[in-house]
Chain A
């Protein structure tokens, strides 16, 4: 699965499985000296030089904060005094797991992730990609354009559009009234459902594109053969298509889930985590503790937990991609 051209479907994932190409043709062959000889070390350093700006940036602004995160999660640092924090061990975590509002945030994060990422974006994305395989070109293009537009919009704008859509006097209720169905104030009665739908609206395009690329790589002969053998649409999907794109499903689920875990702006704009804390997922809870209650230490402990969950997912995701690096 190598990609010689940056074709969209082959995309950047097409990493050659062969070991990376050898160095310059007239560079010293590996026999130039025993490993670790000065010549080799110097050459290695010289070659690594271009990587250094990136490494410095990543160390200072990404690894640094993560390390700092691990440190202040165990302190009682507050916004007010900088120097007066002290080490409190596991207190923050103990407090978190005894805190009803934290547990509520965990629960809402699970609901939000499950509904909008695993069920919503993933299934709808696969359904759209499957239909697009059979649809006529104008319909395919039009639908693709609309769904992708929702994805490209800035997060805050998407938040406002769906805020307007779900408000009591908004478009959704207008449609429901028209169909003589009961309407209600969605952002008040079912806020977590509303933000989940918003996230589906915003993120489905990604899954759709991933699955379109994956389905295009399935050889036509296979599906046609199954069709001739009389396998119906659902059976073909279940026994042929899904097994063939299972890796795409895995990576897509992983990426979606990680993306959904860190959604802040969308929910912030739509509900601010409210009413009460009925749509307060972990990122919003973390923000509230750290900045509105100025408990930086406690907020960071929550952040660290979020980071750990994210890391777990990342590791699983990397296992899925194992053969590709």
Chain B
């Protein structure tokens, strides 16, 4: 049937909707991409400054300059130690804690989970001053282990929350079979439950690691000697020494420091679909 041009067909309307939506998204994407483009282009530009522009010539010189033990390797290794240790501690404690919460009925479960949820959303920044004072008293200030402990404690509430919810999704029949065969709870956790919730464990691990890797304030407060500083703090040295900032090197270092978490994120979201780490409790 002939349609007047005033009342458009659903199909053409949908097409124009799509066109408008695409245009809107591209405008936002263009605005968002500018700072990212700056860091990528500057890292390859021998004459990098604060503006996005195409380099006249490409060079890896900036990377060459920063790939020294002092500037890159030591801070990244420190980051790896802190975040690796913290993540390991977090994941182990969270897995152990989640098991009874998920598997046994107890009057304490609900209050415990509520406390955990409450702790999840506390502004950790606010307690850093007393943590510093406390660490000075108990001699944990400026130690890797102290920082690792605090990292783990600050990530634990969220990790327990996530871990328990993933664990709830693992059916119990398999464990029951194992129990009748005389397996202990610990064995069934290790051999049956955790392998079955592999993706869940991966999410908790990557999420904790990414959060710690990017954290600036905690090591900034709890570590003092430059040799122990992770990349999140040492990156400030590019600005610290009153001279002119070499933006190309800063950009190159930023890319080296950011790459691991971006890769981890891509890896996990590939496996699990996008937006995996949607705050343990965000539901419609």
Interface residues of A (CB under 8 A from B): 1, 3-9, 11-16, 19-26, 44, 47-48, 50-51, 53-55, 57-58, 60-62, 64-66, 68-69, 72, 77, 82, 124, 127-128, 131-136, 139-140, 142-144, 146-150, 152-157, 160-162, 164-165, 167, 169-171, 174-175, 201, 206, 209-210, 212-214, 217, 244-245, 247-248, 251-252, 254-255, 258, 261-265, 268-269, 283, 286-287, 290, 296, 299-300, 303-304, 306-307, 310-311, 313-315, 317-318, 321, 324-325
Contacts and interface: CB of A to CB of B under 8 A. Distances in A.
B217 A6 contact: no
Contacts of A144: 274
21 contacts: A6-B197, A11-B278, A13-B279, A20-B103, A20-B105, A48-B106, A50-B185, A53-B96, A69-B130, A77-B133, A131-B25, A146-B36, A160-B39, A171-B34, A171-B35, A217-B284, A255-B282, A265-B215, A300-B129, A314-B121, A325-B110
Interface stretch (B55-63, B65-73, B153-161): B153-161
Contacts of A300: 129-130, 133
Given A134-B17, A153-B214, A314 B118 contact: yes
B249 to A, nearest CB: 12
Contacts of B275: 8-9, 148, 209, 212-213
Nearest to B37: A171
A311 B115 CA distance: 11
Contact of A54 (B38, B94, B233): B94
Contacts of A60: 149, 153
A50 B99 contact: yes
A300 B127 CA distance: 8
A314 B273 contact: no
B192 interface: no
B18 interface: yes
B8 to A, nearest CB: 13
B280 A264 contact: no
Instruction: Tell me what chain A mostly uses at the interface: helix, strand, loop, or mixed.
Output: helix
Choose among B124, B126, B203, B272 the residue with the greatest number of A CB atoms under 10 Å from its CB. B126
A44 B106 contact: yes
B235 A15 contact: no
Nearest to B53: A174
A147 B218 CA distance: 26
Nearest to B262: A152
Contact of A307 (B18, B94, B105, B126): B126
B201 to A, nearest CB: 10
